[in-house]
Amino acid sequence: MESINVWWVWILAGLGLLVLEIVTPGLVLMFFGVAALLVGTVLWVGILMPAWATLLAFSVLSIVLLLAFRGPLMRRMGSLPGDPPRIDRLEDEVATALQDIAAGSVGRAELRGTTWAARNVDEISIPQGSRCRVVRVDGLTLLVSIETAA
C-alpha cells in the first residue's frame, strides 16, 4: 500500500480530475483535483506520510474545500439550484401586442421574437402594437398588462 505515497500519482490524479471537471458540469471534481494536487505537492516536498494518512489528508482536504468554496463560487456564477437563470424568466419582460386584446381576454403578443398567447389582466384593452409587461406566465400563456409611461 506504500505505492499510494508516490507524489506523481497524486499529481496525475489531480490533473485528471481537473480535466474531468471541465468536461462535466457541477463544480465538484475540481475540489477533489485540487486536494490531490495538494497531497502530491506535500509528498513531493519530502513530507512522508503513511498510506492511511495520505488518504485521510486527501479526504479531509476534498471535503473542506468542497464545503468552503463551492457555495460561494456557485453564487458568484449565479447558478445556485432553485434559482432559474434570468434568461429563463419572462416576468417583467416587455412584449408587443400583435392584435387588440380586450380586458380579460386572450390575444397574441410577441416576446423575444416568438408569438405567444397573451391574456390581458388589466381593466382596459391593449391596442395592437402597444407595449405590454409580462406579469406572470401560466403554462404557455403570458399574463400581460399594458405598460404605462414611467
86-139 per-position pLDDT tens digit: 556 788 889 999 999 999 899 999 998 899 999 999 999 999 999 999 999 888
Based on the fold, state whether residues 48 and 102 are members of the same structural domain. Answer: no
**Comparing C-alpha atoms, which of 89, 109, 113, 85 is closest to residue 99?**
109
| Residue entry with cell 416587455 | 94
Q: How much of the chain, in percent, has pLDDT values that exceed 90?
A: 60
* 1 band by pLDDT with thresholds 50, 70 and 90: very low
Range of the domain at 13: 2-77
Distance CA 18, CA 38 (A): 13
Q: Are residues 65 and 119 in the same domain?
A: no
The interaxial angle of helices 51-77 and 29-45, nearest 10 deg, is 140
Q: Is the pLDDT of residue 33 over 60?
A: yes
Same domain, 9 and 73: yes
Answer yes or no: do 104 and 142 share one domain: yes
Total tally of structural domains belonging to the chain: 2
Instruction: With a cut of 60, say whether residue 84 has pLDDT above it.
Output: no
Q: What integer pLDDT is reported at residue 48 of this predicted model?
A: 85
90 and 73 co-located in one domain: no
* pLDDT reported for residue 129: 92
Task: Tell me the torsion sign for CA atoms 67, 70, 76, 79.
Answer: negative
Shared-domain flag, residues 73 and 109: no
Residue 3 has pLDDT above 80, yes or no: no
